Chain A
């Protein structure tokens, strides 16, 4: 990141803002989400009021202490400019006004323009759908942070609330840097599906890692958790047994191992290594079973998906009941950051392989590796 410096030696910062003005409208009138024209129309008929602009303004307003060294980049009209006006922040409006009714394409266009103009951080107000639009438009190019304003917010890119988003942005912009970022998952929830089978891993964005809440008293910061995971990835690679097949699941945590081995089929891919060399990438169930035929001595390394605590059955369906049965419960190694595990809504992990017998086989107390030499025991169930 390149920073201009002002006369008193302080960095100048640039923050982008994308508001999905219709986000959240479905929720307050009892509709699942607001994606889809029919849902939006119905939400309006039911009297839904847009809340995202207000929440975005609340978050942006927390940046006031940076007033004399901050530039805000916004899309025109309700997607940004209308929100930032009146906050007393230096603002640059990018692009042409959107059509009367904004769409996902407008969110994507605004994010692309802001990234191209060079922002230190992109704040967006919306829900999981907006997060996916941002992801599609700019991927990990610019750090982002979600102001929670949608109906469904299962992704790990959102702050606890609008004020917290603003505070985290203020903290990050005051001392930005790649070391202050962590990867966070974007998920897709199928609202029309029943039961817990709805969450799917969609991709990753980079978000400011929340520094210790005791910020003023001590500055341990996000570095610890990041360093733990890096050391863990190194240890796992070093421990790999010759002649054993390792299946590497999706997600950011296992991604660190893939990176070390140079076998990255992308954040959603299941890859396989033998003697630390790739023997398969982007594998599906059939490919995995074929590999297991050749190499019956095998283990799978798995991460945990988001705040839901899903271990199997969300975004890693390739690791099917048949594959898991072949592997056996003892040959699954779960890795996760301690903070991530402890932040789970229920301190439990979930499996949903579609096969009750396999689910039962995987249930019980399991050790999750959180750093070299450190495990946390957690209950696994359906």
Chain B
């Protein structure tokens, strides 16, 4: 996106088309199938009878009638009107990476695309080899003894951990007593949430002067009721807790397990191993750190790894190598069962495997260095912008792959908030920055993360854009407060956003709540 440091013009396309349900005209078709061959019809009977009467609709569904071309055009326009991922995107805590086309080609192959998890193992040895291959790579990076890829995202992997923890103590007859999970206010909220979902009580530690809870605070919190510690390190402010090894020792001494939410792995890849710090389990996000496409909760993968002692409790199946052959271990007596169906998102696993093999050990370490370097380069430039400060400015240590900043000063001085700034940045063709995970302990927060992907020109352009918007905030706050001006839509009226009588997430609900809109002319976009 380099343009010699020059500010670029940007204007998003506006199509202003009706909803697809309102488009089209009776009789239009995308595809007209040929009439049934008479011989075939004679053999099968009337087409209508192929669907049993009880399952047939009394009325045809109320679908719009359009030509294939009209549908294509409409969705292309909608795609052009999306607000993100097309410019420079430094979306913090998400470690934005390019997803190589090669991964798409690999996973489109029939060995992946057409495989069924219940088919004979001998007919899918290649797929199993890829899963096993990534397992070995992650073991090498973490020091753990086994990975499972069933979880559909990072939070799901955290949930896997709470299930494993529960099963572990149940097997030891300690579950009644060990009913507390300790986490920190800066650990990703999924840690507290999944602990609660698994029935644990949640004890949250608060930050102290250094930007993390003190060792003494942890000591005060652990007890014979501690089941587990669940932490993120570095946290989403980029602060690394250097006492983490001592933390693990304290929790172990109290008889608890330790789980490392390793979603923020980019800044420490190849630099440390969770197991060597003493952790019993960890998770990586393949859709974040390992170059696979995003899509939390669904088409993603939280890779959960653990030490040998916990392997009996892992969800099944696991891919095992025996002799020269891969097989699926489909069940185990102490397994927690499944956290999701089958083996997880295999195409994602294959893409991550491809990424890791292409990067190699040295490449992964170099990427880590680059992402920390780029973040610290950004930090020096961003802190020079009027109105920008960083969280916990008193901490001397460098942040790792991201830094939490604050526009609190800008807001105090101009009334322009970080949400306004986000809305204005998109006017320059860069994507709005990530703000903060819950809880919002830093006022007007934002959190860029450059990772290893973006070039220095992209990073500079992003910083220049923020600097310009901050200048605008001081010179002409209304301009920023009324942004975006160059985007597809202006601002949503949020007044009734939590009024269930108003919003509708389906067309049917829309009609029910608002009645039909004025009929739009057939064909829609015309020109």
Contacts and interface: CB of A to CB of B under 8 A. Distances in A.
Interface in B184-224: 185, 192, 196, 200-208, 213, 216-217, 220-221
A374 B208 CA distance: 20
B440 interface: yes
Interface string A349-382: 0000000000000001101000001111111000
Interface stretch (A97-105, A201-209, A215-223, A264-272): A215-223
A342 B437 CA distance: 14
B208 A379 contact: yes
B492 A374 contact: no
22 contacts: A160-B443, A175-B496, A213-B418, A213-B419, A216-B491, A219-B494, A219-B497, A338-B439, A342-B439, A343-B441, A365-B216, A365-B221, A367-B203, A373-B202, A374-B196, A374-B201, A375-B202, A375-B203, A376-B185, A377-B203, A377-B213, A379-B217
Given A365-B216, A376-B185, A379-B208, A219 B498 contact: yes
B222 to A, nearest CB: 11
Contact of B497 (A215, A376, A379): A215
Interface string B274-296: 00000000000000000000000
Nearest to B412: A161
Interface string A168-183: 0001001100000000
Interface of A (DSSP majority class): mixed
B26 to A, nearest CB: 33
A376 B196 CA distance: 14
B415 A161 contact: yes
Interface residues on B, range: 35 or more
B480 interface: no
B419 A216 contact: yes
B419 A378 contact: no
Interface of B: 185, 192, 196, 200-208, 213, 216-217, 220-221, 411-412, 415, 417-419, 435, 439-441, 443, 491-492, 494-499
A375 B495 contact: no
A347 B203 contact: no
Given A163-B415, A338-B439, A342-B439, A373 B206 contact: no
A367 B202 CA distance: 11
A219 B418 CA distance: 17
Given A175-B495, A219-B498, A377 B206 contact: yes
Contacts of A174: 495-496
A335 B409 CA distance: 32
Given A216-B492, A376-B185, A378-B206, A365 B201 contact: no
Contacts of A342: 185, 206, 439, 441
B497 A216 contact: yes
Contacts of B412: 160-161
Nearest to A175: B495
B207 A175 contact: no
